Structure 1
Amino acid sequence: MTKRRISSGSPLEPVIGFCRAVRTGKQIMVAGTAPIEPDGSTTPGDAAAQMERCCAIVAKAIADLDGHIDETVRTCIYLTDRADFDSVAQVHGKWFGDARPACTTLIVSGFIRPEWKVEIEAEVMEA
């Protein structure tokens, strides 16, 4: 089965040796996606603003691999502060509410950049 890979342009991809998303057949897997702006800086603002950016990156990765966000079957949200859950969950619902994927949320001690408040992973399975 052929694999297709895409990059989001994150400056971390070549350093770490990964790509934003991989498509194999009808499945698309999107790597942990942080709030990184096109210039490599961190998205400013609170966890909800950062989640918006993460979801936009994920949605673009899915579309770039000819997938549809409404076919997302699984997401995993990573937060550094459980107090941010409600606002981040609302953003998740905005982006993934029609798909209603299986979703796990984990509280973690931190990310590569200390200013990051959230990351998200996603998997798509086409019908």
Structure 2
Amino acid sequence: MVDSFTSNPPTSSATKQSTSPILPCHLQAKTKNQNLNASMLRTTFRQTAAFRPVRCFSTTPRVMTEGATGSVRPTGGSGDAFQRREKASEDYAIRQREKEKLIELKKKLQEQQQHLDRLSKHIDEITREQGGEKN
């Protein structure tokens, strides 16, 4: 008599793949990890290869034809008008952000200078009250 709890019917990796439901990538990885943990002692190379993590997003190389908008010139010269406008607008935005930062820094510097002036006046008042200066 064969104990039904200890023996499992043999299954191939093709059968496992065909019977598995279609799940989103993040759920597939969890299911595969759970299956991997359950059969940890009897894994083989073929089974571990079947449980590799699935890449959710795949990218293809962007191929540009010669002279296409946005492509790099073979001579290394400047790009087309679109590239020049794009670079100019990016440079302008960067300069504007730097200008705003400089204005904020100037305001902070002015506030600090005013604070130092108030402190020096306060120090002068205290020294006069104590009789340190005869003015």
Q: Which has the higher contact order (CA 8 A, sep 6+)?
A: 1
TM-score normalized by structure 1?
0.24
Structure with greater helix percent: 2
Higher Rg: 2
